[in-house]
């Protein structure tokens, strides 16, 4: 029973979801395929799983036409994020690209403040420089990670990827009250992301529709961990946590990806990268666990819909894992 109570804590769900998504980069590397091919197949493999889960768990919950359009937009934004971030890595290097794409840590809480009236705690704003500095160190910025063929182009691509990622996260937070349920939203968004990956690959000429079997196995593992389990957990956490807490938890991804890269690829981090990972973990812990104590029940507040803004409503705790 105690373990169950721990697992339904949205902060724990967010951490587990971030760890699942952090597996994405090493798994893509193990597959050996292009970024557009990985985006297309991870979404293609995840789609039937999500459809089955949505039909079994959310039967009778049909999203409105407006909600479905938002779900499609969320998937398009996620697909754009995946493609642009990969482009930025090639142009400006992994360190700078990883740091810049995490502009979401500022944009998502600002959206929560402007649209939902959620005021981030002071600890969150104080932790932002620490989290971004730690992410840059973890990505290898201080160890030559800024190398790239076109730094200006890569910087623009990384920032645009971060904006698209922030938009996806904002829409994902709304899914709990948007109609149709989170799994239905994720299934629709995944179909849209697959379309973006496929069309981008056809346009760029790097979509491989017949990758080797070994690559398909790794991409299937990626679909189950990163695309299904990871986003279901994060969707639950984001709709229960304040925007600042959920955004901070997601900063664990780049640090965790470094550690997974060491375990799965033998790419051992330098001392500065390990120091960056430690900075990120410490800052996220301070915001998500220590900072949450001062906000009381705010961390369990579901994201309101447009008709509920400016109106008081009961705050409900998270009642299940997925």
Domain count, the chain: 1
Q: Per residue in 250-280, pLDDT tens?
A: 777 777 877 787 788 787 777 887 888 788 7
| Domain boundaries, position 64 | 11-206+214-294
**Considering the domain boundaries, does residue 299 fall inside one?**
no
**Considering the domain boundaries, does residue 49 fall inside one?**
yes
Cβ neighbours of 100 (radius 10 Å):
24
**Considering the domain boundaries, does residue 101 fall inside one?**
yes
**Considering the domain boundaries, does residue 314 fall inside one?**
no
Selection from 250, 286, 97 nearest residue 173 by Cα: 250
* 115/139 Cα distance (integer angstroms): 32
**Considering the domain boundaries, does residue 60 fall inside one?**
yes
**Considering the domain boundaries, does residue 317 fall inside one?**
no
* 229/20 Cα distance (integer angstroms): 7
Cβ neighbours of 122 (radius 10 Å):
10
| Predicted local distance difference test score (pLDDT) of residue 73 | 92
Q: Per residue in 161-203, pLDDT tens?
A: 888 988 888 887 776 555 567 888 889 999 999 999 999 999 9
């Amino acid at each position: 029973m105690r373990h169950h109570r721990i697992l339904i804590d949205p902060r724990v769900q967010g951490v587990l979801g971030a760890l699942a998504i952090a597996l994405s980069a090493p798994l893509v590397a193990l597959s050996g395929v292009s970024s557009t091919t990985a985006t297309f197949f991870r979404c293609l493999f995840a789609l039937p799983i999500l459809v089955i889960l949505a039909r079994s768990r959310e039967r009778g919950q049909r999203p409105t036409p407006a909600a479905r359009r938002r779900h499609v937009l969320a998937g398009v934004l996620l697909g754009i994020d995946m493609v642009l971030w990969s482009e930025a890595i090639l142009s400006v290097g992994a360190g700078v690209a990883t740091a810049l794409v995490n502009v979401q840590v500022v944009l998502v809480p600002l959206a929560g403040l402007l649209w939902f009236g959620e005021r981030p705690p002071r600890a969150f704003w104080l932790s932002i420089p620490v989290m971004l500095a730690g992410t840059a160190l973890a990505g290898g910025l201080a160890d030559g990670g800024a190398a790239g063929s076109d730094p200006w182009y890569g910087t623009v691509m990384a920032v645009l990827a971060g904006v698209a990622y922030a938009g996806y996260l904002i829409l994902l937070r709304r899914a709990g009250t948007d109609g149709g349920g989170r799994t239905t939203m994720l299934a629709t968004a995944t179909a849209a992301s697959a379309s973006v990956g496929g069309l981008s690959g056809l346009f760029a000429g790097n979509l491989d529709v017949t990758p080797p079997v070994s690559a398909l196995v790794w991409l299937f593992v990626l679909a189950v961990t990163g695309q299904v389990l990871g986003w279901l957990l994060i969707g639950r956490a984001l709709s229960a946590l304040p925007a600042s807490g959920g955004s901070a938890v997601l900063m664990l991804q780049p640090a965790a990806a470094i550690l997974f890269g060491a375990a799965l690829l033998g790419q051992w981090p330098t001392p500065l990268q390990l120091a960056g990972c430690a900075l990120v973990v410490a800052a996220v812990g301070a915001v998500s666990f220590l900072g949450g104590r001062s906000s009381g029940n705010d961390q369990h507040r579901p994201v309101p819909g447009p008709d509920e803004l400016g109106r008081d409503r009961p705050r409900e705790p998270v009642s299940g894992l997925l």
